[in-house]
């Protein structure tokens, strides 16, 4: 997602989230059908990675936006966004 067009970037993010939603429904189906635990865990890891990538993209867009606008409060806003992202991802652990 190297695009800088906000509309296209938003559509790309929504598309990624819809894909993750479909993967999660697949995991639910696997649980209902009694699929092997290792297969379920592998799919859960894939869903989590997909959602984490959306978060990482949002944080990078925040940084890009701050840098382009040259706002003085940019560093604080970016640090807040990073802290939130890292709190909810495996990257922080």
Q: Could you tell me the CATH number of the domain that includes residue 24?
A: 1.20.58.1000
Q: How many domains does the chain have?
A: 1
What is the arithmetic mean of pLDDT over 74-84? 80
Residue 1 counted as domain residue: no
Q: Which residues have a Cβ under 8 Å from the Cβ of 24 and sit 6 or more positions away?
A: 47
Residue 14 counted as domain residue: yes
Q: What is the tens place of the pLDDT at every residue in 48-70?
A: 989 988 888 888 887 788 777 77
Contact 12, 1 (CB under 8 A): yes
Dihedral over Cα of 14, 16, 18, 21: its sign: negative
Contact 16, 53 (CB under 8 A): yes
Structural domain harbouring 47: 6-92
How long is the chain?
Answer: 93
- The model carries a pTM of 0.70
**In angstroms, what is the C-alpha Rg of the chain?**
16
What is the arithmetic mean of pLDDT over 8-12? 84
pLDDT at 38 over 80: yes
pLDDT at 2 over 60: no
Assign 26 a pLDDT band (cuts: 50, 70, 90).
very high
């Amino acid at each position: 997602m190297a695009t800088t067009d906000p509309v296209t970037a938003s559509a790309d993010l929504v598309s990624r989230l819809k894909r993750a939603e479909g993967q999660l429904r697949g995991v639910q189906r696997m649980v209902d059908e009694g699929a092997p635990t290792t297969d379920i865990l592998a799919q859960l890891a894939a869903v989590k990675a997909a959602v984490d990538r959306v978060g990482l993209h949002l944080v990078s867009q925040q940084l890009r936006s701050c840098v382009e606008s040259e706002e003085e409060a940019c560093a604080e806003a970016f640090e807040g966004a990073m802290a939130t992202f890292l709190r909810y991802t495996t990257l922080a652990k």
